[in-house]
Amino acid sequence: MLPNRIVLVFVLLSIKTSFLSAQNIKLDRKELVKQSEQATNFYRNQDFEKSLLLSREVLKKALLLKDSILISTSYNIIGSNYSEFSEFDKSIEYYKKALFYANKTLNDSLKFKANNNLANIYCFEKRQYKRGTEYYKKAIFHSKKIPNTTYALMASLNLAWAYFDNFNYDEGLEFLIYSNANFEKYGNETLSVVHQMVNGMYCDHIGDYEKARIFYEKAIELGYEYNELNDVSYAHNEFSKMLFKTGNYKDAYLHLRKFDALKEKIYNEDKLFKASIAGLNVELDEYKRELTKIELIKEAQKQNLNKSKIIVVLFIIVLFVLLMFIFTLIRNNAFKRKVNKELTIANNDLLLAKEKAEEASQMKSQFVSTISHELRTPLYGVIGITNMLIDEYKDLSQSQHLSSLKFSARYLLSLVNDILQINKIEENRVILESMTFNIADEIELIIQSLSFISQNNNNKVELIVDSKIPEYIIGDKLRFSQIIMNLISNALKFTKNGRITITVSLEKNEGAIHHISFAIIDTGVGIAAVDQDKIFDKFVQVGRNDTDYQGTGLGLSIVKRLLHLFGSEISLESELGKGTTFRFTIPFESNMEKTKQLINSIRVDLTNSEIFKVLVVEDNRINQLVTQKIMEKNNYKCTVVDNGIEALKILENETFDIILMDINMPLINGFETTRLIRSKNIDTPVVALTAFDKEEIAEEALSSGMNDIIIKPFDQSKLFKVMTTLIQNVKSVV
């Protein structure tokens, strides 16, 4: 049903005024004006049947009198009633007739009304916002010629609502500002509900939910007070949308129920059916008028041909067709209602399914984040204590058990990182960065880091690099290393007493872009043809026995997704017992000027022999011990506290060069602790030392006043480089 977008039916008052100002007013015209007003009141009270019956009678007499004002008014009321039956095409037809007759007069109120109501249909029912806003602007043009400025206020509110309904808040804001500035002077009870609701929609859009709530509640209160049930139903609906968006599902559901209840009260089926019958009578009148024109033509033919029998037969045929047409209209209307009901149910099912899918995706992301944090925290302790044992007890450094412990911990950390990496890629949270690096050096470093696997399986590794490749290229070094690391690691694990060959060659140049091809060739077990299409899927491990190769089945899946970010694809050639070859091509930039800028922008390690004081805020006892040993081993004076409250107390009496802050702590977390430190005007650099993923906490960390983030378990050289840089920056300012 068409919402009551401040439909301009009360403009009949201006008609009455224009009539009273004329001289020699006929009694029947006065009576017609009163009947038009009564038809309008019936419409406003949702008594559509009486409204249509009365406006139909007024239209008949107005056509006889050839009174364009009354004809336009009657067509406008009929169009408004048809909009309530969801017969929007017919509603537009009658509104256009109202506009046609209004344009024959000098009455700007009538022209304003017809344009305003056409705009309502096109904007809110046809969703043709461009066409609808053109009619609104015509309505505003005519309103400026009317002494009553309420018309301009009404059109502005309607236009703001239309823009907001189309999510075009920037253009709608202009008209909302005008409405707010003029409402106190020109507003009335009829406009008050929509005025409050449109303000609530804008506050909802900008995120000021508390103010939006006040506006919506005021709109609902005024709607019930002034019995504007149609407008208050839409206030309930908009309020429900906001509550649902903010997570208040219970209240959102209650307001949605009130919206449905009001619509059911206004548009009950019995009332609408009776009204639709009255509407058919109006349509029948229109067809009769057309038939009258036909009869005139037939009468002329009768006078010339004197064939009255033919005219009677034609009349019967036309009447039969008309009755069939009316029957078809009734049947189609019933079918349309049934289809609309089925579509509504189907749409609700789709929305519910969509919400469940989004909820499942969010729960998955939260689960992955929580698991990675909970695993990284103890892994930091295991790796740290293992390193401490190796450093402090030299006789244990060659222990096979200790080496196995360290390897297992790092393997578990690699598993956690793989799961987190695949989750990031699936959620489109990976963005390639630009760094300068040497391809050969990077691959050599990876080969050295995998020497343990190579030696265990008695494999030889050979690297062949094309001399045409530039010494330095620009690209995402970290993601490139992940790709090469996974492929070489796979080749080493699935090959025994064999050879792994890595070839790097320049395929072509396109200006500064160098397309570099890579091939990782092994002489290992190979992959069966039947399994080659699925090895890039997550958690797939083909041809593996219980005692065979370690791995999660995520490596090749990550490789394929990372190469997709580079705009590349990976190909596979393999045969059982004869080895496997992976090939891909990545475009890298080579630009010496840009390379020099990137190299110069890299911070140089500023470490010196000065002893710095470090405050470690950490609640985990094992992690306290590990971090303290690492600090003291690197010539830092370390103080450890268990929580944020103790950190604040010690900072009142002591000064530190830097603070290492855990995030997930009892009493108050690391973010809140840092905010309290900054509130005391303490400028000591704060580095978040946490097991949370950096992207998850970066925004809140910076807003709380933290200077940097280091993820546990961490690279010690990276940590000390960050610490030294931050300390030196503070000292240089002082």
Rounded Cα distance between 641 and 52, Å, is 81
Residue appearing with tokens 């990372």 = 562
**For residues 678 and 696, is the Cβ–Cβ distance under 8 A?**
no
**Per-residue pLDDT tens for 647-693?**
999 999 999 999 999 988 888 999 999 999 999 999 899 999 887 77
Query: What is the structure's pLDDT at 213?
Result: 92
Tens-place pLDDT, residues 219-252? 899 988 888 887 888 889 888 889 898 888 888 8
Domain boundary among 288, 306, 324: 306
- Give the global pTM: 0.40
Residue at 53 is within a domain: yes
CA distances from 487 to 232, 534, 545, 555, 570 (A): 64, 16, 20, 8, 11
In this structure, the chain runs to a length of 734
Final residue in a domain of this structure, among 546, 567, 601: 601
For 134, 232, 381, 393, 473, the CA distances from 593, given in Å and listed in that order, are 54, 65, 44, 49, 11
What is the CATH classification number for the domain harbouring 128?
1.25.40.10
Beta bridge partners of 586: 516
Judge whether 297 lies within some domain. Answer: yes
Range of the domain at 692: 612-733
How big is the CA angle at 72 (ends 69 and 77), to the nearest 5 degrees? Answer: 125
pLDDT tens readout for residues 118-134: 888 888 888 888 888 88
Give the lowest-confidence range in 27-31, 223-227, 485-489, 519-523.
Answer: 27-31
* Model confidence band, residue 382 (pLDDT cutoffs 50, 70, 90): low
Same domain, 49 and 16: yes
Average pLDDT over residues 282-300: 58
Residues 38 and 120 in one domain: yes
Which backbone phi and psi does 518 adopt, to 5 degrees? -125, 140
Q: Cα dihedral sign for 680, 683, 687, 693?
A: positive
pLDDT recorded at residue 645: 92
Q: Which residues contact 372 (CB under 8 A, 6 or more apart)?
A: 416, 419, 420, 691, 693
Is 221 in contact with 215 (CB distance < 8 Å)?
no
Average pLDDT estimate for 169-186: 88
Residue 390 lies in a domain: no
Residue from 371, 379, 370, 414 nearest 626 by CA: 379
- Give the pLDDT band (50/70/90) at residue 16: very low
Neighbours of 287 (CB within 10 A): 16
Domain boundary among the residues 265, 280, 297 is at 265
Mind spelling out the 3-state secondary structure of 360-408? HHHHHHHHHHHHHHHHHHHHHHHHHHHHHHHHHCHHHCCCHHHHHHHHH
Residue 661: which of 603, 705, 612 has the closest Cα? Answer: 705
Per-residue pLDDT, averaged over 318-337, amounts to 85
Q: Is residue 337 part of a domain?
A: no
* Residue partners of 571: CB distance under 8 A and separation at least 6: 582, 583, 584
- Residues 578 and 619 occupy one common structural domain: no
DSSP 428: T
User: Are residues 594 and 632 located together in one domain of the fold?
Assistant: no
Alpha helices per DSSP H over 21-87: 27-44, 48-65, 68-84
**Cα R_g (the chain), whole angstroms:** 39
Alpha helices, H only, 125-228: 129-143, 150-165, 169-186, 189-206, 209-225
In a domain, 354, yes or no: no
Distance (Å, whole) CA 686 – CA 693:
17
Q: Do 204 and 134 have their domain in common?
A: no
Q: pLDDT tens digits for 500-519?
A: 999 999 989 988 899 999 99
Does 240 or 408 have the greater pLDDT score? 240
DSSP 8-state assignment for residue 530: G
Domain count, the chain: 4
Give the helix/strand (H/E) hosting 691.
Answer: none
Strand partners for 686: 659
Locate 701 and state its tokens.
Answer: 């960390």
Residue among 142, 124, 144, 143 at smallest CA distance from 133 = 124
Element (H, E) at 283: helix 269-305
Quick one: 666 and 714 in the same domain?
A: yes
Q: Which is nearest to 714 in space by CA: 705, 723, 706, 725?
A: 723
The CA distance from 373 to 367, in Å, is 10
CATH code, 474: 3.30.565.10
Residues 626 and 528 in one domain: no
218 pLDDT above the threshold of 60 = yes
Q: Give the CATH number for residue 701.
A: 3.40.50.2300
Name which of 55-69, 224-238, 376-390, 436-450 the model is least confident about: 376-390
Q: What is the pLDDT of residue 406?
A: 59
Structure tokens of 542? 């083909």
Residue-level pLDDT at 546: 42
Residue 239 sits in the same domain as residue 276: no
Closest C-alpha among 315, 366, 472 to residue 307: 315
Q: Are residues 571 and 519 in the same domain?
A: yes
Residue 597 pLDDT: 65
Residue 41 lies in a domain: yes
Residue 712 resides in a domain = yes
3-state secondary structure of 504: strand
Q: Which amino acid is at 556?
A: L
Residues 564 and 585 in one domain: yes
Q: Which pLDDT does position 428 carry in this prediction?
A: 60
- Which of the residue ranges 312-321, 345-354, 390-399 would you say has the lowest mean pLDDT? 390-399
Same domain, 79 and 117: yes
Q: What digits encode the pLDDT tens for the residues 423-434? A: 555 556 566 777
pLDDT of residue 363: 61
Please tell me the predicted confidence (pLDDT) of residue 411. Answer: 53
Residue 641 is assigned to a structural domain of this protein: yes
pLDDT of amino acid 541 = 59
Position 383 scores a pLDDT of 67
Residues 542 and 678 in one domain: no
